[in-house]
Structure formats: structure tokens, C-alpha cells
Amino acid sequence: MSLSAIQSLRAAAVLEDCAQQLDILGHSLSVQMRRERGPAPGQGPSLGATPQLSANSLLLSSVCLGSYNTEKVRLLKLKTDCLFITQNISELCFELEEKGRFSSFPEAVEEEKRQREDGAKREEEITLKQRRQAVDKQELDILAKRDELNNINVRLNELKQQLSQAKNKKPNNVTMSQQMLTETWQRAHLKDKLEFLQKQLVEEMMSHEESEKFLQNQQTELRVMLRNWKQQTKEMQQDKQKKLDNLGCKRTLNTDRLMEMRRKFRVMEQVIMEDKEEQEKLRELEEKARIATKLQAWWRGCMVRRGLGAFKKAGEGKKGKTKKGKKKKK
């Protein structure tokens, strides 16, 4: 849709004002991001921390890290949106000033919508792939720990059998007693290690369940957000389509009015031309009649002055009468 020069200049001025306000907003977002830059909360345990970390602390650290990342992503998204809108507004101003149209902005908006939908789909696929890999890794760790526990149990059973065999035999010397002490110490050590591994396995299973629940909840939230975005995009498309249809109807009405006014203008122009021709003909006829009247008057004057035609006889009779009257008076 093309605009007039004044309308284009007005729209360009308004858009330049909007671009300046968006630049100020982007600068404020940059300042806020620099203020919030620093070590993220809940980065996990240090290197010297014990492996017996509770599931509640792990869940709390993951939630804090997720909230920090969400705020950071929101600020980055706002800044990129401001830059995108500013760039499109500058292009739209240039197009309005040069061509008097605004066809590039809807195309840019549609392209950005398609890119965002594709990006959201790719991000969702990447997150799902990462979650699946994490779950598979945790399952492999659990299986490895179970195998280690089974080996420890097998070793413990062998030591028990050896201990029972040693009890049945009579000790002959001091070496047998030392061997029994070492075996009892190894058995106690293996038992403690088994308990520690069982506790660690329970904690790992609890943390795995908590992380799995958290990831499932986050996945449902992301799906709801994606559904809402799709619904909003669909509503915006419908609204823009309605506006476009209304503009098309208005343009059709304006075109019909313009055609009707052009038709009336042609009719009125034809009437005016016919009226001018009639007035010209009347003026020519009046001019001819006036000239003919002047010629007739001149000719009559000549005939009267020279006594030609009918005016001659009337003049002679009058002269004879006048002469007779003069003679009688004498």
C-alpha cells in the first residue's frame, strides 16, 4: 500500500521516535545485565566436598541455577528483540522516505516468526536429547554400581566360606591366627565399604528420581509455553489477516469511489465542453447578426443619402411641392 509524501514523512518521524526509545531500553537492559553478571548461585559442591550430598541440597541448587538462567535468558531475549525491532524500523523508515511503502516490515515479522518457531523446535529437541543422555548415563552408573555391589557380595561370601573352613580346622601356629585377623579386618572393611556403597546408591537413586521429576515438570512447562506461543502466534496471524481484509475492503471502496468520481468528472467535462461549443455558436450567430445589421443600416443610409431605389421617388415628390409653394409666395 503506497502513501503520500506527507503521510510517509509523518510515519517516518513516529518510527524514528520509537527507534530512539528502543535504543534507550536496550541500553538499560545492557546495564542491568552487567550489574547481574557474576558467579551464578547454586553452582554445585566444591572439589573438597563429601560425596554424601543430600537430595534436597541438589534439588535446591538445581532450582536456583534454573531461576538464574531463566532471568539471564529473559534479559538476552529482550535485548535481541529490541535490536531486531530497531533494525526493522530503520529499514521501514528508509523505505517510507524513498518509496512511500511499508511492505518490508510484515515480511520481516513473518520471517522472524518462522525463525523463532524453528529455533524453539530445535531447542526443545536438543533439551530432550540432553535429558535422555543424562538419564541413560545415570542408568549406566546405577548398573555399574550394582555390578560392583554384586562383586563385593561374591567376595564377602568367599571370605565367609574361607572363615568357616578356617574355624573347622584347628590352628597349628601363629600364622593361622594372623591370617584370621587379617581376614576379619578385610571382612569388616568390605562390610563398611558395602554399607557406604549402599547408602551412596540410595542417595543416587533418590537424586535420580528427583532430577527426573524436575526434568519432567520442566518439560511440561516448556510444552505449555510452546502451546501458548503457538496460540498467540495464531491469534496474531488471525488479527493481522482481519486487518488486512479490512484494508482490502477499504481500498476496494476507495477505488470504486475514485472510479465513480472520475466518471462524473468525465460527464461534467463533456457537458461543459458542449456548453462551451453552444455558447461559441451563439456568439458567432450574434456576431453575424450584428454585422448584418450594421451592413443593412449602412446600405440604407447610402440609399437615403443618394436617393436610390424607393427613397428616390419620395424625395422628388417632396422637392416639386416645395418649389410650387415658393412660387405662390412670390
Give tens-digit pLDDT for 282-307.
999 999 999 999 999 998 888 888 87
| pLDDT attached to residue 262 | 92
| pLDDT attached to residue 45 | 43
| pLDDT attached to residue 42 | 44
Give tens-digit pLDDT for 94-144.
776 776 666 666 777 777 778 778 888 888 888 888 888 888 888 888 888
Instruction: Show Cβ contacts of residue 216 under 8 Å, excluding neighbours closer than 6 positions.
Output: none
Total H helices, total E strands in the chain = 5, 0
pTM above 0.85, yes or no: no
Taking CB atoms within 8 Å and a gap of at least 24, the contacts of 229-232 are 229/120, 230/117
| pLDDT attached to residue 43 | 45
Spell out the domain ranges in the chain. 1-42+56-102
Give SS3 for 102. coil
* Distance in angstroms (rounded) separating the CA atoms of residues 5 and 256: 23
Instruction: Show Cβ contacts of residue 201 under 8 Å, excluding neighbours closer than 6 positions.
Output: 142, 145, 146, 149
| pLDDT attached to residue 7 | 65
pLDDT average per 10 residues of sequence, the chain (330 residues): 64 71 73 63 43 44 57 75 75 70 69 79 85 85 85 83 69 62 82 87 88 89 91 91 90 92 93 93 93 91 81 55 51
Q: At what angle do helices 5-35 and 55-98 cross, to 10 degrees?
A: 160
CB contact burial 243-281 (16+ within 10 A = b; e otherwise)? eeeeeeeeeeeeeeeeeeeeeeeeeeeeeeeeeeeeeee
| Eight-state DSSP code of residue 52 | -
- From first CA to last CA, the distance across the chain in angstroms is 110
| pLDDT attached to residue 129 | 85
| Eight-state DSSP code of residue 2 | B
| pLDDT attached to residue 271 | 93
Q: At what angle do helices 174-306 and 310-329 cross, to 10 degrees?
A: 40
* Distance in angstroms (rounded) separating the CA atoms of residues 171 and 247: 107
| pLDDT attached to residue 268 | 93
* Distance in angstroms (rounded) separating the CA atoms of residues 22 and 112: 18
> What would the grid cell of residue 140 be?
549406566
